[in-house]
Amino acid sequence: MKIIVLGLGYIGLPTAVMFANHNQEVIGVDINKTVVDDLNQGCTHIEEPGLSEALRLAINKNNFRAQMEVEEADAFIVSVPTPNNNDVFKSCNMDYVQQAVRSIIPVLRQGNTVIIESTISPCSTENMIKPLIENAGFAVGKDVFLAHCPERVLPGNIFYELEYNNRIIGGVSEACSHHGAKIYSLFTKGELVETSASAAELSKLMENTYRDVNIALANELIKTAGVLGIDGLEVVKLANKHPRVNIHTPGPGVGGHCLAVDPYFIIASSPDTTPLMQRAREINKSMPDFVLKETKELMRQIDGKKITVLGITYKGDTDDIRESPALEVLKLLEAENRYQLTIYDPYIPAYNDWKEATLDSDLLLILSDHQEFSLLDETRLEYMKQAVIFDTKNILVDSLKTSNYFNLGNIRTKRYRKEKS
């Protein structure tokens, strides 16, 4: 089968390469010339375990090439970004999706399948994409098959999850679902669940909203427990011993291009029925400010000047800084205008110098859960002026959890014992 994947980003590229390595002829299309040129040389612009190797394998098999123009094919998979609009409820910006679909219309043929993988607002495949194809003279469900098949993979584990996760195949008709399922059956070992396009859209959005709301509950717990003088992290651990409870992990906020974005697509499509989702977003967005306040208080107590921020990515072991709460905390700290700030992040080349970052520092402020931080030991604290740690991701090993160690659970309850330097 000849498959064109439009949009070679975090999801489109691994998906394209996956099809190619399952013996399909794949053309990746992107509007960015540098990305296209680099990919054809076997160089990826995305940090994802196994991606470079998989890309080179696909190129060596002669099953993958990148280019800027579309051409005729059997199937088209649209995997372009859908940012938030800058409106009151941050609705879904469908411009790139529409442009991508418009770009394939001149090369569409009878029997083609068009799949929207991008995360989109509820009902848009049916109400916005289907008319674009129909206006070009095709009967959707007869001449051309259209489906929304959202991805559900976790960055950092994309290749495994692409293959083994269950996938929702939302056709605008039963025939469309069948055609969509045929394509993903080329590599998916998980269940292919056929449904309507609109149910698929809302289900994708709800999966991330479910997590966002649950994380907001955990963040609200942390604030409440602190006020009551209780370690909130201990409470999460205890409550989760219940077989039907799964409180998520509190942290400095929710970032990335999914949890921090998708709930708005639902909210914008029905503001009156979504007060809980709206409140959850507000609570999670308030966390950088909460971290700022606690950090300021800690710095006051230790009479500190220099803060070393550990990790600026939105989560651990990725180079992805999209919507990162760490950057928000950094911005707030900068605006205070009274601290000397340095950054260390093993995934961001500009911030790779541990010694320079920690030299004479008063505080390590951990904002991303990179595995490297979980392996820190005493010796790495040697350049600091005072080895105080505020670990908002609760990632350090127990041996470093000394009297000068703070996390979101104990920051209010633990008494700081100032070490004489």
Residue 152 in the binding site for ligand SAJ (CB under 6 A):
yes
Among 171, 251, 288, 304, binds ligand SAJ (CB under 6 A): 251
Task: Compute the distance between CA of residue 65 and CA of residue 36 in angstroms, rounded to an integer.
Answer: 9
CA dihedral 68, 70, 73, 76 (to 10 degrees): 90
Cβ pair 145, 176 in contact under 8 A: yes
- Nearest residue to ligand SAJ, scored by beta-carbon proximity: 258
Residue 130 in the binding site for ligand SAJ (CB under 6 A):
no
| CA angle at 145 for the pair 144 and 149, rounded to the nearest 5° | 145
- Candidate list 92, 149, 176, 258, residue with the active-site label: 258
Among 129, 153, 221, 299, binds ligand SAJ (CB under 6 A): 153
Interhelix angle 275-285/262-269, rounded to 10 degrees, is 140
- Cβ of residue 109: shortest distance to ligand SAJ, in angstroms? 31
- Cβ of residue 113: shortest distance to ligand SAJ, in angstroms? 22
Q: Which is nearer to ligand SAJ, 281 or 315 (CB)?
A: 315
Query: Is 393 designated active site?
Result: no
- Cβ of residue 265: shortest distance to ligand SAJ, in angstroms? 11
Among 211, 285, 296, 305, binds ligand SAJ (CB under 6 A): 211
- Cβ of residue 74: shortest distance to ligand SAJ, in angstroms? 26
Using CB under 6 A, which of the segments 153-161, 291-299, 355-363, 398-406 binds ligand SAJ? 153-161
Q: Which is nearer to ligand SAJ, 152 or 281 (CB)?
A: 152
- Cβ of residue 161: shortest distance to ligand SAJ, in angstroms? 7
Radius of gyration of the chain (CA): 24
The pair of three-digit structure tokens given for residue 322, joined into one six-digit string: 């999209």
- The answer for residues whose C-beta is within 8 angstroms of residue 382's C-beta and 6 or more apart is none
Query: Is 258 designated active site?
Result: yes
Task: Compute the distance between CA of residue 39 and CA of residue 57 in angstroms, rounded to an integer.
Answer: 12
Residue 151 in the binding site for ligand SAJ (CB under 6 A):
yes
Catalytic sites, residue numbers: 204, 258
